[in-house]
Amino acid sequence: MVPSLDAEIIAIGTELLIGGRSDSNSIFLADELGKLGIAVRFKSVVGDHRQDIVSAIHTAVKRAQVIIMTGGLGPTVDDCTREAVAQATGRRLGRRKGALEGLTTRLAQWGRVPNSAQLRQALIPSGATVLKNPVGSAAGFSLIWKKASIISLPGVPREMEEMMRQEVMPLLRAATASTGQPPRLPIVRQVFHTFGLAEADVDASLKGLIPKGAPVDLGLLASPMGVLVSLTTKGSQSVSKKHHDLLQQLANDVRARLSNWLFAEGRDQMEEVVGRELARQGLMVAIAESCTGGLIGHRLTQVAGSSAYLDRGAVCYSNRAKTEMLGVPADLIVKHGAVSQEVAASMAKGIRERAKVSVGLSVTGIAGPGGGTESKPVGLVFIGLDGGDGQPIAQEFRFHGDRTVIKQRSSQAALNLLRRWLLDRATR
């Protein structure tokens, strides 16, 4: 029997605690560790306070053999992960040649030279292995303390992901192979993305999905982009095929139960799904945004090749802009208000006709925190779609959360409406 190997992720950054940014790194790290049969059992989120990070490390080494820390390796005064690891492990910080060379080389490529603050990024605890950063300036490091591997990586997702693949995975693979024990089988994880159903309703829809005693864990994670559903299993060498078959059976059951709300699997995002379907059908879209302020267009253009299906986007924030840029009748706005089904439909039609494209998409709403009334509260959003084949569609949504969250939910709902329209169109 291969002994278990547990991991803990420590996400560092005060912004993760106050709602300024969500932690998108942990899911990636869990998937990568799972390939080596290493299970993430714990996750901690800690602010940019050295003593709090020290306490998190002391707790982690008592319950995990692999500890991966992300964040706090930048040049600013609140980046104190190096100092915290050194304090926690009793190591001395020193400037390391490999870290310094990587820093100066990267900055030179950007036409810069390191200042005194940036030179802090070359400080590494004694006895640690320097982990090269192939896309950024901050080196990471790895060390062994109290029989645990402590690995520190930048919090920037692109940097963290490349360092995990190129530096950390080979390191962990070599470490597990050196034990002389049989290799651990990968932890298999399937992920499903849903939108339009609350977390409690997703939970209710999946009630009784996992048979009692089955070696599969069901996970739910809610965010402004919807509810993520995961199925995770780890089989032993003798029953891995059985576990794999069970996982596929359960995955098919999830697809059947959540078919009306399931929009993607794996690492796909809504904008990628929509983009592929637009390209497949040979359609071009134009977008008119009010309360989302260009967020939908930004998301679509984050996907390489989006020029094949995105023609233009217009931020029509004021009533005058809606009239001048989209042709929304001024008396329509006076009669129904800028935040209304009628105006959303007119915006979608207007952008489609002016762009001369296949489909127009629009959004108008009240993102808050002010501007709401009893009849039109903060979070009220209308999304319009015009495919040029009849009456434009306009749907009402009522979202909760702060301004950022409402904008995120609105952009997701708009793309989801477009996705469902595309699928319906394909079956006509």
Given this model, what pLDDT does residue 239 score?
47
Interval 308-354: pLDDT, tens:
999 999 999 999 999 999 999 999 999 999 999 999 999 999 999 99
H/E element, 348: helix 341-355
State the Cα angle at 44 between 43 and 48, rounded to 5°. Answer: 145
Cis peptide before 369 (omega within 30 of 0): yes
Cα separation of 331 and 335, whole Å?
Answer: 6
Given this model, what pLDDT does residue 237 score?
45
- pLDDT category at 21 given cuts 50, 70, 90 is low
With CA atoms as reference, report the closest residue to 150 among 220, 89, 79: 89
Note the pTM of the prediction, 2 decimals.
0.82
Give the list of residues 6+ apart from residue 235 with CB closer than 8 angstroms, or none: 185, 188, 215, 241, 242, 243, 244
User: Residue 230: what are its φ and ψ, rounded to 5°?
Assistant: -130, 145
Sorted by where each starts, the structural domains of the chain and their CATH numbers stand as 6-177 (3.40.980.10), 188-265 (3.30.70.2860), 270-426 (3.90.950.20)
Task: Say whether pLDDT at 2 is over 60.
Answer: no
183-197, 288-302, 328-342: the lowest-pLDDT one: 183-197
Cα separation of 73 and 193, whole Å?
Answer: 32
DSSP output for 211-269: PTT-SEEEEEEEETTEEEEEEEEE--TTTHHHHHHHHHHHHHHHHHHTTTTEEEETT--
- pLDDT category at 240 given cuts 50, 70, 90 is low
Amino acid present at 428: R
Cα separation of 384 and 289, whole Å?
Answer: 10
Say if CB 358 and CB 387 are below 8 A apart.
Answer: yes
User: Residue 123: what are its φ and ψ, rounded to 5°?
Assistant: -80, 125
Mean pLDDT, the chain, as a whole number? 93
Given this model, what pLDDT does residue 20 score?
46
Cα separation of 336 and 124, whole Å?
Answer: 62
**Six-digit token string for 406:** 């409402």
Given this model, what pLDDT does residue 399 score?
96
